[in-house]
Structures are given as structure tokens and as C-alpha cells.
Amino acid sequence: MDRVTSREVARRAAVSVATVSRVLNNLPNVSPQVRDQVLRAARELNYQPSRAAQRLRAHRSQVIGLIISDIQNPFFTSVVRGIEDYLQKHGYSLVLCNSDEDAEKELVYINVMRAEGVAGVILTPSFQSKPNIQNLLDHGIPVVTVDRLLRDFEVDSVVSANFEPSFQAVSYLVRHGHRRIGMVCLPASGVPGVERRQGYQAALEADGIAVVPDLVAVGDAKEAGGYACTRDLLLQDNAPTALFVANNLMTLGALRAIKDLGLRVPQDVSLIGFDDMPWFPLLNSPLTCIAQPTYELGKGAAELLLARIKTPTAPIKHIQLTPRLILRKSVAALNGSP
């Protein structure tokens, strides 16, 4: 007698094969009614899972997929190391992919992960990631997002706080006498970009300083965007005396633009960047910055994913880590401020 397949169970229960897989593997995101339909159909058909398939899944379950948004961004070096160290310690291997902030490329890799039967996926989602992630969940593959939170979407996540450290950085500039403070922003399509800009605005408003639209420039999160935005801000007739730059690559672009304009940090313009870099302390004026706990972000994401694999029905967790403002020498006082 031929073995009953999961496709036949799906047909009897009037659901997809992916839903059958989710139910039989006791994974989340299936309603109680659908779960009962599938289990009833499996009993009625006397469905027995393939032992060969179970062995294959067990073998593949030692592989985790990681999809990051920009492999050239040094921010991710420590994040990836934190993920890899934790997974290796627990007997898992890692497959690394780069999406280039491209939802279509991200989907290609997600399809590869699904086809290879990885145990789970960690990713830095693009702003169009929800359908792609749902694709994985529908096939019973758990997901954790790192660095970015997808609002109104139930997957585990590990992120850094954005609003409060941005507020602290801009307040530090205000305490040093700066009133015309420019910001080089991330695109508003992601949560970090929105929250860092909100922190900037709230810090100005807390000190009674009007938010001037001309002092806010939105970059592309890359060095070129930081360069172009910084030039635009500093070539204004009433240029800002200080800049807050929303990520490390744009900070690099800002430094290059300041140099090309013949200006100096902090004598001509004070500067604070979001993210730390190993070479920031080596600059002529070591850079004040917001340092994210990058290794801990990666380790936390890996820890959450393995916990999700072990207990698929556990409550969703959102973990937020706290960056710190590192004070160096890139901010000068104005008008007799301390």
C-alpha cells in the first residue's frame, strides 16, 4: 500500500502543504481551527511521516541562514561574529547572504533557504520584507530579525534603541552652545531612520530650539549619501555649526565632505555620528559617537532563534539593547559654553 503524502493530507484538510508542515511540526502562526482540520485529516488518512524525510530534516537543522542588508557596512562585521560564535558553540553552521537592501534579491535568498531546508533564518529586513518573511513562516522556518523591527509583524527581534541615544547626542551639542544643528538622516522607510530623526527633533524642542527643515538632509545610508548631504548643509549661507549623522557610512562621507570643503572638526564644525568604528579614535580629532552593542545584537539574535527552534510555540520576544554615547574630541563649545 502506498504511503499517504502530506499533499493528500493538505487536499483532505483544504489547506496548503506548507500549512500541513507547520501543524505537523508544531510551529506557530496556525489558527486552532486550521490545526484541528489538519490533525483530523491526518488521522483519517492514517498519515505517517517519512522517516527518511525526518532524518534529512534533522541533518539540515544544523544550518542557519543569515541575510544582511549590506555586507560592505562594517557595522555588520561584529553582528555576524556574534551570531556565528553563538551558533558554532551550539553545533550550528551559518550561511551568509547579502541582500543589498533589495527586496527582490532578499526573496531569491529566502527561496534558497527554504529549498535547502535551513533550521531558521536571521535577517536584517528591508522595508518590503513582510511578504518574504511570511514565505518562510508558511513553510515552517522560524525567523528572527536583527537591527530592525518590523512593526505589526509577529517575529522575534533584537534591536538597538534609537530615539534615546539620538536625543542624548543632540542634547550634548546643545549644551556646548550649538543652536544650528544639522542632521544627516537615514531614509524614513525603516524604523531606525524614523526614531533617530525623532530623537534629534525632540532634543531641539526640549531646549526651545525650532526644528529647521533646511538643516535636515536625508541620505541613502551610504558614504556617497553622507558626502552629498553634508556638502549641501555646509554650503548654506547660514550653515550649521554642528552635525549629527545617522550611521557610520554616512559619517565617513561627512568627514570626507568636511575635508574637501577645507573645514576642520571641531574648529569649524562639530560632529557626532551614530555607530562607532575602530578608527574613529585615531582621527586628528577623535570622533564622538553613539556606539551600538553590535556583538551582543548578533549573539542575542542567534540565541532567540535557537530558542524558537526548540520551543516553536513560545511567546514572541522583542529585545532592545542600549547603545552608549562615547565622548571624544569632535565637539567644540560655542559662546563660552562648557
Residue 288 covered by a domain: yes
Q: Are residues 287 and 172 in the same domain?
A: yes
Same domain as 288, residue 253: yes
Rounded to whole angstroms, the Cα distance separating 242 from 178 reads: 7
Q: Residue 43's domain spans which residues?
A: 6-49
C-alpha cell at 1: 500500500
For residue 277, tell me if it sits in a domain: yes
136 and 77 share one domain: yes
The model's pTM: 0.80
Query: Is the residue at 338 inside a domain?
Result: no
Write down the pLDDT at residue 1.
47
Co-location of 270 and 302 in the same domain:
no
For residue 17, give the CATH number of its domain. Answer: 1.10.260.40
Same domain, 64 and 136: yes
DSSP H or E segment with residue 159: strand 156-160
- Which CATH number does the domain housing residue 130 bear? 3.40.50.2300
pLDDT at 282: 92
Q: Which three cell numbers stand for residue 28?
A: 506557530
If asked whether residues 235 and 277 sit together in one domain, one would say yes
pLDDT tens digits for 266-308? 999 999 999 999 999 999 999 999 999 999 999 999 999 999 9
Is 313 among the domain residues? yes
Examine the domain organization and report whether 298 and 156 are in the same domain. Answer: yes
Q: Give the pLDDT of the chain (338 residues) as one tens digit per residue.
A: 467 788 888 899 998 877 887 787 766 677 888 888 888 888 888 887 655 455 445 555 789 999 998 888 899 999 999 999 999 999 999 999 999 888 888 888 988 888 888 999 999 987 677 888 888 888 888 999 999 888 777 899 999 999 999 999 999 999 999 999 999 999 888 889 999 999 999 999 999 999 999 999 999 989 999 999 999 999 999 999 999 999 999 999 999 999 999 999 999 999 999 999 999 999 999 999 999 999 999 999 999 999 999 888 888 999 999 999 999 999 999 876 66
Q: What is the DSSP string of 223-269?
A: HHHHHHHHHHHHTSTT--SEEEESSHHHHHHHHHHHHHTT--TTTT-
How high is the pLDDT of residue 57? 53
pLDDT digits (tens, 9 = 90+) for 65-87: 999 988 888 999 999 999 999 99
Tell me, yes or no, whether 336 lies in a domain: no
Query: How do strand 242-245 and strand 181-185 relate by DSSP bridges?
Result: parallel
Question: Is 337 a member of any domain?
Answer: no
Residues 176 and 272 in one domain: yes
Is 180 found in the same domain as 289? yes
- Structural domain contains residue 328: no
> Is there a single domain that holds both residue 284 and residue 172?
yes
* Judgement on whether residues 285 and 305 belong to the same structural domain of the protein: no
Same domain, 154 and 241: no
d(CA 194, CA 174): 21
